[in-house]
Amino acid sequence: MLSVKKLNIKINNQNVVKDLTYDFSVKEGGLFVLLGPNGCGKSTLFKAIMGFSGYEVSGDILLNGKRINDLSIDQRVKLGLAYMYQHPPVIKGVKVKDMLEEKDLDDDFWDKYSKNVDELDASKFYSRYVNDGLSGGEIKRSELLTLTMLENSKLFLFDEPDSGVDLDNLKNIGKYINNIVKESKSIGIIITHTGDVLKYLDVQKAAIMYDGKIVCEGDPEKLINCIKKSGYHECVNCKDLEK
Amino acid sequence: MMNLDEFLENYSNIGFNPYIVVSDNNQIPLESNEDNLDVLSIKNKEVNRYLKEKELKTQENNWKEYSGYFIRAKKNSFGSVQTCFLTSSKGFEQRVQNIIVVEENAHLEVFTGCLSNSHGLDNIHRAITDIFIGKNAKLTFNMIHSWSRSSKVYPSTRVYVDEGGTYISNYVVWDEVSMISANPVVELKDNAKTILQSLSYIHPNSDIDLGGHIKLIGSDSSGEIHSSAVNNGGKFSTKTTIEGLGDNSKGHIDCNALLLDSKAVVSAIPELYSKNDKTELTHEAFLGKISNDEIEYLQTKGFEREHAEELIVKGFANKSIERMPDIVKEKMRNILDKAKEGF
């Protein structure tokens, strides 16, 4: 579904993602996890895929074989991309309620929304300014809730859904991510550098990003065990893993 | 430009009674003398008699022709009044002198709209207003402007708040106007409080100067000035001053302005003056364009860029009036809903 070819991403003239060619496809309803240390380029890759400004991109970003490099963020969303922020901005003045009221939403949506609010224990976010004064776990739950307003999402990009989250929230968030990907028969790609959320997810495939490149891929459990045992640097040099 | 009926419905008619309409320089058509509230023409002899008896000094006017009202909320009363100033002909100069007295322990809410009708281009509105708020009394003064795009508006307002009294001013300018220069001065005695908050939309040919000067004379008095503006290419100035004179007086100024156009000019000049080491005065300001991070966030929620900008401007406006009364919020919601052409 999502692949990149000879992708280079620069920020302030610094090459962060380097000549990357990779196919992120997994089976429908499945999850792919992208592991890697801080600063290796994972979040930069996601942001470039979404079309955020400030990234100099060359090469191809392909969604279902279609090059999307020149599309705006909202056009990419209409094609089925959905992005969960790691650090979303606070928008004082705009409430979740305001965003929903701007959309033409039918009864089916409100049924789904109501169910998701219950699952995420997120009723209080409706009337609050977007991301204003929320704790780490609340920000993640609010972000997941706002994904509900996107129709026809086919590919979810979850940017560190486990960062700054306590154990109770982690379980809830993991379960929720599993469900929305399965129920919508879409695909989810998750970035994590701690791997904490993985025990609550059914991940089909994993890869390690290191210094702007994907250096190995394989069974998620094996990769995590290797990283936990030897650290990222040793792990990427391990001959037992698929390169 | 909306017609008179539409205006009255959308801006001014909120169901308060009495309803005072000041048209051009004509005297107000109805006077009333009720148990709780007096409404008189400014030229009624009773007004001077009352001012003399209470030793209330007002600003001088040297006009030959003028109109205006005298409103008196009597001691311990609760009441509300709506007023509307109209100018009808091209180039007309309206001059009004108004006096509002809220006596001890009384509470009064005033809702004011100002309008020039579709023929009222190039008109001028000059207003002298003196407000006297008694001990433990409260006045909430709400104003939503709708002058014509070439109107010039020059109010001069002085407010005197006695011990424990409260003065709240909610001032909204959203429709196009050529010029407004409003710098009310508020003097506060012991334990008195004032909040001056304004929201302005600055159109490309508009020059809006909305300031304020609060004198915290009494001990434990407090004053706040909150100025918000959305500037789409005009000029906006806000020169604000708070003087901390009384013991334990507190003051705060903030200004937030969104600049939507490269020709937009904003000048925010906060002045804090302290002559007492027991005062606490603060100020903060933000002037800038809409945050690109916020726009892109909304794009990830499926909104096109222009729609995202519109949502942020509406949000900015709604946040600016969140502490204003529901009647102002409701009127603003109508105005924002009608701004279909975007910002």
In this complex, do A89 and B300 lie within 8 Å of one another by their Cβ atoms?
A: no
Interchain CB distance below 8 Å, B315 and A91: yes
Determine the pLDDT at residue B32.
76
> What residues in A contact B293, CB-CB < 8 Å?
89
CB interface of A with B, residues 31-60, below 8 Å:
50, 52-53
Does any domain span residue B19?
yes
Interface touch B318/A92, C-beta < 8 Å:
no
Q: Tokens for B142, please give them.
A: 């709400």
CB-CB neighbours of B320 under 10 Å? 23
Could A78 and B291 be called an inter-chain contact, meaning their C-beta atoms sit closer than 8 Å?
A: no
Question: Do B8 and B117 have their domain in common?
Answer: yes
- Region B312-330 average pLDDT: 90
Q: What is the DSSP letter of A197?
A: G
Q: Is B342 on the interface with A (CB under 8 A)?
A: no
Q: Region A207-214: what's the mean pLDDT?
A: 92
Residue contact B297–A130, C-beta within 8 A: yes
In chain B, how many domains are there? 2
* CA gap B75, B134 in Å, rounded: 9
- What angle do the packed helices A167-183 and A107-120 form, to 10 degrees? 150
Q: Do B307 and A102 touch (CB under 8 A)?
A: yes
User: Distance between CA A163 and CA A85 in Å, rounded?
Assistant: 11
- Alpha-carbon distance of A41 to A206, in angstroms, equals 16
**CB pair distance less than 8 Å for B299 and A74:** yes
One domain, residues B256 and B333:
no
Among A212-226, B143-157, B171-185, B289-303, top mean pLDDT goes to B289-303
Cα nearest neighbour of A100 on chain B: B301
Pair (B177, B86) in one structural domain: yes
Crossing angle for the helix pair B305-320 and B326-338, to the nearest 10 degrees: 160
| Bond from prior residue into B18 cis (ω within 30 degrees of 0) | yes
Mutation target vs B (from A43, A55, A91; most B CBs, 10 A cutoff): A91
Largest Cα span, chain B: 66
Which tokens is B341 given?
């052409």
**pLDDT tens, position by position, B229-241:** 999 999 999 999 9
Residue A50 CA to residue A28 CA, distance in Å, equals: 21
Cβ–Cβ below 8 Å for A72 and B298: no
Look at A112 and B74; give whichever has higher pLDDT: B74
Q: How far apart are the first and last CA of chain A?
A: 21
The chain-wide mean pLDDT, for chain A, equals: 91
Inspect the interface and report whether the beta carbons of B315 and A77 lie closer than 8 Å: no
The per-residue pLDDT for range A140-190, each reduced to its tens digit, is 999 999 998 898 899 999 999 988 888 888 888 999 999 999 999 999 999
Residue B320 and residue B223 share a domain: no
Q: Whole-angstrom Cα distance, residue A176 to residue A121?
A: 11
Percent pLDDT > 70 in chain B is 91
Residue of B248, B206, B258, B199 whose CA lies nearest to B225: B199
- Which of B292, B297, B299 has the CB atom closest to A91's CB atom? B297
Is the pLDDT at A131 greater than 90? The verdict is yes
Scanning B273-292 for CB atoms below 8 A from A yields: 291-292
What per-residue confidence (pLDDT) applies to A243? 47
A90: which 2 tokens? 């606070």
Q: pLDDT, tens digit, for every residue of B165-216?
A: 999 999 999 888 899 999 999 999 999 999 999 999 999 989 999 999 999 9
Among the three residues B266, B286, B306, which one is the final residue of a domain in this structure?
A: B286
- Phi-psi category of A167—alpha, beta or left, where left has phi over 0 and alpha has psi -120 to 50? alpha
- Between CA B3 and CA B89 the distance in angstroms is 14
Structure tokens, B7: 């205006």
Could you tell me if residue B181 is inside a domain?
A: yes
Supply A214's token pair. Answer: 């994907």
Residues paired with residue B94 on neighbouring β-strands, in sequence order: B125
Number of Cβ within 10 Å of residue A151's Cβ equals 13
Closest CA to B238 of B217, B215, B267: B267
Element housing B141 (H / E): strand B138-146
- Identify the CA nearest to B95 among candidates B181, B156, B171, B30: B156
Q: Kindly state whether residues B323 and B253 are assigned to the same domain.
A: no
Q: Quick one: pLDDT at residue B309? A: 95
The verdict on a CB contact (< 8 Å) between A73 and B293 is no
Residue A207 in 3-state DSSP? strand
Could A53 and B296 be called an inter-chain contact, meaning their C-beta atoms sit closer than 8 Å? yes
Contact between B192 and B220 under an 8 Å Cβ cutoff? The reply is no
- The domain segmentation of chain A, as residue ranges, is 2-236
Query: Is any Cβ of chain A less than 8 angstroms from the Cβ of B306?
Result: no
Which member of A89, A93, A102 has the closest CB to residue B319?
Answer: A93
Mutate to test the interface with A, among B291, B297, B313 (most CBs of A within 10 A): B297
Partner-chain residue, chosen from B299, B307, B312, that has the shortest CB–CB distance to A91:
B312
Q: Do A77 and B291 touch (CB under 8 A)?
A: no
* Beta carbons of B302 and A89 less than 8 Å apart: no
Residue B91 region, left (φ>0) first, then alpha (ψ -120 to 50), else beta?
Answer: left
Instruction: Answer yes or no: do A91 and B292 touch at CB < 8 A.
Output: no
Confidence of residue B90 (pLDDT cuts 50, 70, 90): confident
Q: Stretch A57-72: mean pLDDT, rounded?
A: 96
Residue B92 or A190, more confident: A190
Burial (CB count <10 Å: 0-12, 13-18, 19+), residue B156: middle
Q: How far is CA B165 from the centre of its chain?
A: 18
Res B121: pLDDT: 78
Smallest Cβ distance to B300: which of A53, A73, A98?
A: A73
* Helix-strand-coil split of chain B, %, nearest 5: 15, 45, 35
The shortest CB-CB distance from A77 to any of B302, B312, B318 is to: B302
Query: Could you tell me if residue B343 is inside a domain?
Result: no
> Do residues B195 and B77 share a domain?
yes
The set of residues, in sequence order, having a beta carbon less than 8 Å from that of B326 and lying 6+ positions away, is none
The one-letter amino acid code at B67 reads: S
| Interface size, chain A vs chain B, as Cβ–Cβ contacts under 8 Å | 73
**3-class DSSP assignment, residue B326:** helix
Write out chain B residues lying below 8 Å of A98, CB-based.
311, 314-315, 318
Angle formed at CA B306 by CA A140 and CA A113, multiple of 5 degrees: 35
Distance CA A4, CA A8 (A): 10
Q: Is the Cβ of A111 closer than 8 Å to some Cβ of chain B?
A: no
Given a cut of 60, is residue A45 above it in pLDDT?
yes
Considering the domain architecture, whether residues B74 and B116 belong to the same structural domain is answered as yes
What are the two backbone dihedrals, phi and then psi, of residue B300, each rounded to the nearest 5 degrees?
Answer: -70, -15
Give how far A91 is from chain B: nearest CA, Å: 6
- Provide the mean pLDDT of chain B: 90
Distance of CA B97 to the CA centre of its chain: 16
Which chain A residue lies closest to B321 (C-alpha atoms)? A93
Q: Does B311 touch chain A (CB under 8 A)?
A: yes
Instruction: Decide if the complex's ipTM is over 0.90.
Output: yes
Task: Answer yes or no: do B278 and B296 share one domain.
Answer: no
- Confidence (pLDDT) at A228: 83
The pLDDT value given to residue B147: 80
Q: pLDDT tens, B147-164? A: 888 889 999 999 999 999
For chain B, say whether A85 makes contact (Cβ under 8 Å). Answer: yes
From CA B331, how far away is CA B333, in angstroms rounded?
Answer: 5
b/e for A164-177, b at 16 or more Cβ within 10 A?
ebeeebbebbbebb
pLDDT at position B28 over 80: no
- The residue among B160, B110, B97 whose CA lies nearest residue B140 is B110
B318 touches chain A (CB under 8 A): yes
Three-state DSSP class for B293? Answer: helix
Of A73, A95, A146, the CB nearest to B296: A73
Task: Please count the other Cβ atoms lying within 10 Å of the Cβ belonging to residue A101.
Answer: 10
Mean pLDDT confidence for B88-113: 92
Q: Nearest CB to B303: which of A74, A129, A130?
A: A74
For residue B8, give the 3-state DSSP assignment: helix
Q: Are residues B278 and B301 in the same domain?
A: no
**pLDDT more than 90, % of chain B:** 71
Residues B181 and B262 in one domain: yes
Query: What range defines the domain where residue B317 resides?
Result: 290-338
Task: Tell me which architecture the domain covering A2-236 has in CATH.
Answer: 3-Layer(aba) Sandwich (3.40)
Closest C-alpha to A243, from A197, A221, A204, A210: A210
Q: How far is A150 from chain B, CA to nearest CA, in Å?
A: 6
Q: Distance between CA B157 and CA B133 in Å, rounded? A: 13
